[in-house]
Amino acid sequence: MNVLEFKDELFQKGSEKGFKDMELYYEKSDRFVCAIDKGEVDQFTTAEVTGVSFRGVYADQMGYAYTEKLDESSIEFLIENALENASVLESEDVEEIYEGDSNYKDISFSSEALKSVTTEEKINFMKELDKEIYAADERVVATNFFTMQSVDVEKAMYNSKGLSLEDDQNYLVYMVIVIVEENDVTKSGVHIEVVSDWGKVNAKESAHKAVQEAVSYLNPLETDDKFYPVILRQDAARSLLNTFVTTFSAETAQQGMSKLKEKVGSKIAGDNINLVDDPFLKNRMGSRTFDAEGVATEKLNVVENGTLTTLLHNRKTAKKDGVKTTGHASKASYKGTVNVAPSNFYIEPGSQSYDELVQGLDEGIVVTNLQGLHSGVNAISGDFSLAANGYYVKEGKIQGPTNLMTIAGNFFELLNEVNEVGSDLEFGPSTVGAPSLLLKGLSVTFE
């Protein structure tokens, strides 16, 4: 049963059962994953997965159900369950099916060149990278999670109000954790690359970056616990921002779970902070021309010179706040319901490079990565206490790595205490991006 046949039968049966407006969201993904360990292919996976999500208005509530099996039995399953789900819902806010906009940005996020890279080319590159990693430094003892993944996702959205939208995106990313050992002490470093142009992949360069990162944590210095000026390197800054990104959602605010509730128009950050959501960036994970409700997307300034100009909205939250949707309806996959999420959300870069930030520091700490982000933060209050790795800086120079540390602070306070915003904006494999940030200070405890 193909998806269009499935849709027609589903909508007809749904209408017979009393659904008013209906939508079918379709997703098909092709995936390739390989992992390398000591020169050999350690994991090889290919997959083809199709799933659909049905939602429909019944007695003024939006009922949802999804399936990965496109057959007759699933049509019955979707309708029965969506109907029962709608019947138990007590949402005060009306969720609607949208007829669509007249114009959508004409831009493609799909790369035919990346799709044409063969399995053999991918595996050969990974094997070469593996060789380069071991050749780069004799202290390399192993690798972990050394994987390449390529994914091609086709999406489509059809509704009973006549909307029909399609999208096709693909990406290719590889990562490696390099494990190094010296004097019986083991350290590791993570390196991730999102490939936008296969012609520019460079195994030697990647290997050097990955190994350099791991080696940089060997032979830690003894440092005192205290309040230090801190540079959050771009990857650490990005992961921290990502953890608190839901506070910019109007949905979270309306649920009373965001400190930014009723802060639109107010200063929430220093003058040097600008936060932007841009759905049209090439080679970024969050790019989209339409959101999960079928609304045409656009670029949005969320924080301008420290002032919160808007929260992120879908149609439901916008209606409740009496504003226009910002096109941030989001559905993680057909397995989810429509909520609110950014497209590509980032802190606008400043002027100083990472090296310049370090050179400007008399004494301080560079934080290079954060752990425990899913547990060591209070997303509501903004408090965080996280395990971190990094370097000790004295007189403008990195002196060496620190022991494992915990850093503690508050996200909302931190937005007001950024002394310098770096120029090195990166997204990595994320929909959230940040440059390195020099912070006034954080409380640091070393193990």
| Residues within window 355-374 making contact with another protein, judged by CB under 8 A | 371-372, 374
Are 24 and 161 in contact by the 8 Å Cβ rule? The answer is: no
Residue in 376, 400, 416, 440 binding another protein, rule: CB under 8 A = 376
Position 67 contacts another protein (CB under 8 A):
yes
Q: What is the nearest approach in angstroms of another protein to the Cβ of residue 326?
A: 21
Q: What is the nearest approach in angstroms of another protein to the Cβ of residue 375?
A: 3
Position 117 contacts another protein (CB under 8 A):
no
Position 46 contacts another protein (CB under 8 A):
yes
Residue in 18, 335, 397, 399 binding another protein, rule: CB under 8 A = 335
- Judged by CB under 8 A, how many residues of this single chain contact another protein? 72
Position 87 contacts another protein (CB under 8 A):
yes
Residue window 158-177: x/- pattern of binding to another protein, with contact defined by CB under 8 A = -------------------x
Please name the residues in contact with 160: beta carbons below 8 A apart, sequence gap of 6 or more: 11, 15, 21, 22, 23, 97
Residue in 91, 219, 266, 399 binding another protein, rule: CB under 8 A = 91
**Choice between 66 and 158, CB closer to another protein:** 66
Position 387 contacts another protein (CB under 8 A):
yes
Residue in 144, 272, 307, 423 binding another protein, rule: CB under 8 A = 144
Q: What is the nearest approach in angstroms of another protein to the Cβ of residue 392?
A: 17
Residues 403 to 422: which contact another protein by CB under 8 A? 404-410
Position 399 contacts another protein (CB under 8 A):
no
Are 56 and 62 in contact by the 8 Å Cβ rule? The answer is: yes
Structure tokens, 45: 């996976």
**Choice between 180 and 437, CB closer to another protein:** 180
Q: What is the nearest approach in angstroms of another protein to the Cβ of residue 11?
A: 18
Residues 275 to 334: which contact another protein by CB under 8 A? none
Position 89 contacts another protein (CB under 8 A):
yes
